[in-house]
Amino acid sequence: MQRQSDRPPITVGILGATGTVGQRFITLLSVHPWFAIHVLGASSRSAGKPYATAVNWKQITPMPSAVKDMVVEDCKPEAFKECGVIFSGLDADVAGDIEGAFRAAELAVFSNAKNYRRDPHVPLIVPLVNLEHLSIISQQQALHSPPLKKGFIVTNANCSTTAHVIPLSALERKFGPIDRLMVTTMQAISGAGYPGVPSLDIIDNVVPYISGEEEKIEWETRKILGGTADVEPEQLVGEKVLQEFDMHAHTPLKISASCNRVPVTVGHMINVSVKFSRSPPPSPQQVCEALRAYRPSAQVHGCPSAPVQAITVHDEPDRPQPRMDRAHQDGAGVSVGRVRQCPVLDIKFVVLADNVSIGAATSSIINAEYAVLKGVVR
Ligand SMILES: NC(=O)C1=CN([C@@H]2O[C@H](COP(=O)(O)OP(=O)(O)OC[C@H]3O[C@@H](n4cnc5c(N)ncnc54)[C@H](OP(=O)(O)O)[C@@H]3O)[C@@H](O)[C@H]2O)C=CC1
Ligand SMILES: N[C@@H](CC(=O)OP(=O)(O)O)C(=O)O
């Protein structure tokens, strides 16, 4: 079989290319071994302008020269019809209609937006956790009217959900199901896009509310770790495939999330406390060993953007910290620290993830890499 690295690059389009996530897509894809940026799309405010004029570039690396003169397109499928893959960093207010139209036009869409995450026939994939859920794409295509041959939508999760399900997946694979879970987030300002939270609201402050976030984290965690949780029975066409991976089919996961916005630019930190179904629970040392040994299928299958180490475990008592640890491995993995016994549940720890990289763009890219390896992108 011919390897992807021996083939011509796959042309890709980026929707929402001027935004926080779109800019990270450009940074990562401009040096990608398989994908080549072909078209950039954004709102009518940006369309028709050269990318360098339309965008307010906020990455710490310079804008890649190859995109500077590309003229930004409206997000209409015709301009993207040559693309093998579409990455979407669209504002959720418009992502539903636009991504739906791209799918109907037989385009393969990898989305960061929340709009389709709860659809039972759309995979919600954190690539260091549940790449196997990609297998429900064929059902999504079959159910579309008319049935689709190449078009589909794959979503990745909320950035906080992504951060904590990675260590949770490592623990469940080693020690069996988690029974219950409390998470408290400290979310960076960049999570709200640009310009995001007004400076007068966030400097010298913590805001203990992010609209819709707690419900999303609770629901998404159950869909990712529990396969089909909360899906109405009549919608369960994807059930058969997902149940195979569902550790919670008979032991529903109980989860409570509390979300806070903190004055950090990039990097979501989450305090996690877990109770395992099994008794006695693993010790903190066993937990650290399981986290360090975790090797998700993105690594096993050789996805080029997968981090070498999925979970970096810190022994220092005051790590991870956003400023010091978010850039580790280009933000493609997560960092865990302060693994210790919890006197109320079993074990508690803190996890840090770059919300724009593994929390968004990097996840989409690894999902697409895996889809290429599996022949789903044609
Ligand atoms: N930031 C983060 O950490 C994360 C974000 N997400 C999700 O990713 C998506 C993008 O987020 P983010 O980059 O932060 O958002 P931004 O607000 O920074 O960017 C939004 C993008 O959408 C485009 N857009 C807005 N309106 C329209 C329209 N009517 N038609 C076409 N394009 C439009 C904007 O183009 P223009 O510049 O022309 O207005 C811009 O490119 C959102 O759905 C968000 O919820 C998910 C995980 C993490
Ligand atoms: N709401 C998240 C980022 C985000 O956009 O999430 P979602 O894609 O789930 O709407 C944050 O503010 O940090």
Walk along the chain (378 residues) and give the pLDDT tens digit of each residue: 567 777 889 999 999 999 999 999 999 999 999 999 999 999 999 999 999 999 999 999 999 999 999 999 999 999 999 999 999 999 999 999 999 999 999 999 999 999 999 999 999 999 999 999 999 999 999 999 999 999 999 999 999 999 999 999 999 999 999 999 999 999 999 999 999 999 999 999 999 999 999 999 999 999 999 754 344 433 444 544 455 556 777 678 999 999 999 999 999 999 999 999 999 999 999 999 999 999 999 999 999 999 999 999 999 999 999 999 999 999 999 999 999 999 999 999 999 999 999 999 999 999 999 999 999 997
In this prediction the pTM is 0.95
Indicate the domain borders of the chain. 7-158+361-373, 159-354
- Name the one residue in this structure whose structure tokens are 């960049």: 190
Ligand 2 pocket residue status of 162, Cβ below 6 Å: no
Structure tokens at 130: 């549940």
Pocket of ligand 2 contains residue 159 by CB under 6 Å? yes
Strand partners, 146: none
Closest C-alpha to ligand 2, atom 11? 191
Q: Whose CA is nearest to atom 3 of ligand 1?
A: 191
Q: Given the CA of residue 18, which atom of ligand 1 is nearest to it?
A: 41
The identity of residue 335, as a single letter, is S
Omega cis (within 30) before 64: no
DSSP E strands, 195-321: 254-261, 268-276, 311-313
Q: Find the 280 Cα to ligand 2 centroid distance in Å.
A: 36
Same CATH fold, 159-354 and 7-158+361-373? no
CA distance 125 to 137: 12
Q: How far apart are CA 76 and CA 80, in angstroms?
A: 7
Beta bridge partners of 257: 183
CA 297 to ligand 1 center in whole angstroms: 29
13 CA → ligand 2 middle, Å: 22
Please give the number of the atom of ligand 2 that sits closest to the Cα of 191: 13
- 36: which 2 tokens? 């080549």
Q: How many CB atoms lie within 10 A of CB 66?
A: 12
For the CA of 111, the closest atom of ligand 1 is: 8
CATH of 7-158+361-373, one of 1.10.1030.10, 3.40.50.720, 3.40.640.10, 1.10.600.10: 3.40.50.720
Secondary structure of residue 244 in the 3-state scheme: coil
Cα separation of 87 and 108, whole Å?
Answer: 9
Q: Ligand 2 pocket: which of 213, 262, 326 to mutate (most atoms <8 Å of CB)?
A: 213
* Neighbouring C-beta atoms of residue 222, cutoff 10 Å: 19
CA of 90 to the centre of ligand 1 (A): 4
Q: Supply 260's token pair.
A: 């806070």
Ligand number with the minimum distance to the CA of 161: 2
Q: Is 336 within 8 Å of 1 (Cβ atoms)?
A: no
CATH classification for the domain delimited by 159-354, as one of 3.40.50.2300, 3.20.20.150, 2.40.160.10, 3.30.360.10: 3.30.360.10
Protein residue whose Cα sits closest to atom 37 of ligand 1: 18
**Which protein residue's CA is at the shortest distance from atom 10 of ligand 2?**
114
Q: Which residues are catalytic?
A: 159, 268
Instruction: State how far the Cα of 105 lies from the Cα of 100, in Å rounded to an integer.
Output: 9
